[in-house]
Chain A
Amino acid sequence: MTDEVIEALRSAIGSDLVRSSDAELRLFAHDASNLVGEAGVVCYPRDVDDVRRVIAVCRRFGIAFVARGAGTGLAGGATPIGGAVVICTTKMNRILDVDPLARLAWVEPGVLNLDLTRHAAKFGLHFAPDPSSQQSCSIGGNVANNSGGPHCLAEGVTSAHVLACDVVLSDGSVVRLGGEEPEPPGFDLRGAFVGSEGMFGITTAICVRLTPDPRDVRTMLLDFETVRAGTDTVSSIIAAGMVPAALEMMDRLCLQAVEAFVHAGFPTDAAAALLVEVSGAASAVAADAEAIERIGRQHGARSVRVARDDNERSLLWKGRKSAFGAIARIKPNYYLHDTVVPRRHLSDVLDHVYRIAAEEDLAVLNVFHAGDGNLHPLLVFDRREPGILERVHRAGTAIVAVSVEYGGVLSGEHGIGLEKRDLMPLMFSEDDLRAQSWLREAFDPLGLANPFKVLPSPSGCGDAHAHVEGLWV
């Protein structure tokens, strides 16, 4: 990064908000994935005007910029390429307005997901998308990745909860996409923006829908002797006309790791366990809980544990949500995958996952959103082992390929970013990809917003990729 650019940024938003120490640049060279790029400089705008000023400098010098929320992304979305300007939203973390009657809130992008839910709790409301990273991820990041979470089965992913985004485009204009009103004129640019992985512009304020807290909740743990009995239970629950609030599955290795970590009484000898939550109005909850228990037993559930109180309920969820911490006890490194398959193929695809891992002599844990077929195979390893990265890489590619073969998709919630960019042709034709690039160009004809992500680039732009280390899967 030239001193001239840094100087221009400093005079644009103030020296204290522009950082370029080696330590900081190293920290911002990657997100929570293994994909390391190169950050040119890091800016901390305080508001929309600061964002505009930074982008104006980028435009003047023809430099790319990358929005960054909390950096918990797992697909390299916030990994800067070739010395891009990182625009970090951590100082834009105000909850601007909550309207409990209209059940909406305006927030700045750096507000953490769980902070909004905590804030809304006093009105009996919450923000429904609940990624496992919700303590640390930002709502701006949720919007950019169209993130999901265990409770998105019934409530829908982020896109269903975003009413409007104020966005700074690379040409410097500030636009409101969508609106508080239900039917704004024109194309659904709001919908197009959600999931655009920072490549359409930077959102500086977001209007979200808030969801009433359920009147009643029932959380259950069912365990099975085979994985197939568990996945068949999932299909039968859905086929019986129920959409539980959450329907999560953990396999044996995961149960063992989690139990050693949280001591919640998870059955460590089961092949798989289902964590099922039903919520809503009291009679529906009671009826669904009873039906789910019956279906589980029909499929051979060994036990059905119903949480007696909020404490037990939190403990069960703690087990589910701390799977990532728990695996550190097995091996120091992990690689978390994210694909979706049609529910009816869950068992078959899981069989392939186990086979693929065994062929590469890798340990694999599965903890995933079974209700919507969203697999999260976790490959655990020790990166000091020679040749291990190649094996992890091969296994990962094979898992994605087999998911797509079974009629699934590349990613259910983590996004494409850099990680799966070059796998896009598994799902999309050249014509399909061209249409996606038209969409991006409509927002960012200059191509300055987070370039080189999502869309496999035509040959010729290849040199920009050389800077990325650890480009996996």
Chain B
Amino acid sequence: MGVSDIAEFASAIGATGPVWIRGAGTRVVGPANVRAVESPRGIRFFEPEEMTVTCGAGTCLSELDEILDDRGQYANLGQLRHPHGTVGGALASGWNDQLRLGRGPVRDSLLEVHVVTGRGDVVKGGGPTVKNVSGFDLCRLMVGSHGRLGAIAEVTLRTRPKPRASAWLVVDSVDGSRIEELVGHLYRPSAILWNGLVCWICVEGHPSDIEIARTELRRRGFASQESASGPDLGALPHRWSVSPRAVFEHVGERVGQVIAEVGVGVLHGDQPPPTPIIDAAVENIHRRLKDSFDPEHRLNPGAGDILIR
């Protein structure tokens, strides 16, 4: 890895004609007639005491995890969802896993980004340090942009110490009348998933604190059992994004048919979410961004949601 790889990546992308940036292809593969380009791979720099890691966007999440894990750290890229994807794929899609409540969103982990725009220029945004407000925040703009503004070449990510321990606690018989009480008493859990009947809680931290959380739950009448993981979301392929205030009502209406991320507002369901209502002024901002960063709209044609496409 190194500047030469970014430059090579840029020249592979070029300045004209449609291009598809290929990650591991775990979710999306590009249109058959569009040229595919892979982004640079490999870890360039990892200093545990900086809590940052710099790597090519084509680096596999499992490789990154392994290297960070050796030093007791992790980068919050939503690996629970897709351990075999790439760093670039995780950032470009910006999808979060079920631990967002405690670990925060994927978007907060990007510190510096090098992208190749549709014009073929290499552009850097952000900076290599854990704190930085130098200039406008291109990093946040790139996360979740599905590569439509720039192909991600190399990134610096914030890392975090791994929790000393973590556990999934499953509490049965939590209906709509008790969920608020349960939520109110938990101290900063990493996840609360709820289907209207059963609640899966992920607690992370010091083993004694986890034990205390379990005891407190029991004392309040919420007996829990430990589980190796959270609920299986396989049968619930659709993702709704609602206000965390609206979660209880949504689940109440479809008990057992959805699993909600309480405190976050993601609902996993078997029905597709309604099409969002798009504001014309917001759409204009999107159009202007694409017209500047990728005037020919040649990067990842068709990728992204209703606004980005």
- The answer to whether B130 and A372 have CB atoms under 8 Å apart is yes
- Cβ–Cβ < 8 Å partners of A439 in chain B: 136, 138, 141, 289
The answer to whether A187 touches B307 (Cβ under 8 A) is yes
Q: Is A185 touching B138 in the complex (CB atoms < 8 A)?
A: no
With contacts A104-B244, A181-B242, A435-B117 taken as known, whether A429 is within 8 angstroms of B133 at the C-beta atoms is no
B133 touches A438 (CB 8 A): no
Q: How far is the CA of A307 from the CA of B305 in the complex (A)?
A: 52
Does A204 interact with chain B (Cβ within 8 Å)?
no
Q: Name the distance in Å between B285's Cβ and chain A's nearest Cβ.
A: 5
Q: B50–A192 contact, CB under 8 A?
A: no
**Known contacts A188-B140, A241-B162, A243-B161; A281 and B241 CB within 8 A of each other:** no
**Contact, CB under 8 Å: B305 / A159:** no
- Does A192 lie within 8 Å of B133, measured CB to CB? no
Number of A-B contacts (CB under 8 A): 253
Q: Among B30-38, B80-88, B168-176, B273-281, which stretch is in contact with chain A?
A: B273-281
- What's the Cα separation between A185 and B239 when bound, in Å? 12
Please judge, given known A-B contacts A187-B149, A188-B107, A284-B209, whether A148 and B131 are in contact too, CB under 8 Å. yes
Q: A424-B135, A439-B138 are in contact. Are A412 and B129 (CB under 8 A)?
A: yes
Q: Which segment of B12-20, B118-126, B193-201 sits at the interface?
A: B118-126
> From residue A213, how far is it (CB to closest CB) to chain B in Å?
10
Q: Tell me, yes or no, whether A471 is within 8 Å of chain B by CB.
A: no
CB of B309 to closest CB in A, whole Å: 10
Q: Is the CB of B134 within 8 A of A373?
A: no
Let me know if A281 and B209 touch, CB within 8 A. yes
CB of A331 within 8 A of chain B?
no
CB < 8 Å: which of B73, B241, B264 contacts A184?
A: B241
Q: Is A183 an interface residue (CB 8 A)?
A: yes
Known A-B contacts A156-B104, A180-B265; the reply to A436 vs B138 at CB < 8 A is yes
A13 interface hit (Cβ, 8 Å): no
Q: Does A369 contact B (CB under 8 A)?
A: yes
Confirm or deny: A315 has a beta carbon within 8 angstroms of a beta carbon on chain B: no
Q: Does B226 contact A (CB under 8 A)?
A: no
Question: Which of A169, A180, A374 makes the CB contact (< 8 A) with B131?
Answer: A374
Q: Of A176, A186, A455, which contacts B307 at CB under 8 A?
A: A186
Residue contact B129 to A372, C-beta cutoff 8 Å? yes
Query: Is A160 positioned at the interface, with any CB of B under 8 Å from its CB?
Result: yes
On whether the beta carbons of A407 and B128 are closer than 8 Å, the reply is yes
Task: Report how many residues on chain B are interfacial, defined by Cβ distance under 8 Å.
Answer: 82
Could you say which residues of chain B place their CB within 8 Å of the CB of A442?
A: 285, 288-289, 292
A159 touches B137 (CB 8 A): yes
Given the known inter-chain contacts A104-B244, A187-B308, A427-B127, please indicate yes or no for A454 contacting B136, CB distance below 8 A.
yes
Interface string of B274-304 (1 = CB under 8 A from A): 0010111110011011001100000000000
Taking the complex as formed, is A320 at the interface, i.e. its CB lies under 8 A from any CB of chain B? no
Cβ contacts under 8 Å, B149 to chain A:
187
Given A99, A146, A212, which contacts B137 in the complex, CB threshold below 8 Å?
A146
Is B266 in contact with chain A by the CB < 8 A criterion?
Answer: yes
Q: Contacts A344-B50, A409-B127: A182 and B135 contacting too (C-beta < 8 A)? A: no
Residues 87-112 of B contacting A (Cβ, < 8 Å):
94, 96, 100, 104-105, 107-108
Which residues of chain A are within 8 angstroms of B266 by Cβ–Cβ distance?
A: 182-183
A367 to chain B, nearest CB (A): 16
Chain B residues with CB under 8 Å of A183's CB are: 96, 239, 241, 266
Q: Roughly how many angstroms separate A152 CA and B104 CA in the complex, as a whole number?
A: 14
Give 1 or 0 for each of B142-155: 1 = CB within 8 Å of chain A CB: 01110001000000
Could you list 16 further interchain pairs (A-B, Cβ under 8 angstroms) beyond the known A192-B138, A442-B288? Answer: A102-B245, A184-B241, A191-B107, A191-B141, A238-B48, A282-B212, A343-B50, A373-B131, A374-B131, A408-B127, A415-B133, A416-B133, A428-B124, A428-B134, A432-B123, A443-B285
Enumerate chain B interface residues (CB-CB to A < 8 A): 47-51, 72-73, 94, 96, 100, 104-105, 107-108, 117, 121-125, 127-141, 143-145, 149, 160-162, 164, 180, 183-184, 187-188, 205-209, 212-213, 239, 241-245, 261, 263-266, 276, 278-282, 285-286, 288-289, 292-293, 305-308
Instruction: Give me 15 A-to-B residue pairs in the complex whose CB atoms sit less than 8 angstroms apart, sorted by A's number.
Output: A186-B308, A188-B140, A189-B282, A191-B139, A192-B138, A282-B209, A283-B209, A342-B50, A344-B50, A408-B127, A409-B134, A412-B132, A415-B133, A435-B121, A442-B285
The 7 closest A-B pairs by CB, nearest first: A191-B140, A186-B307, A438-B292, A283-B208, A180-B243, A173-B281, A241-B161
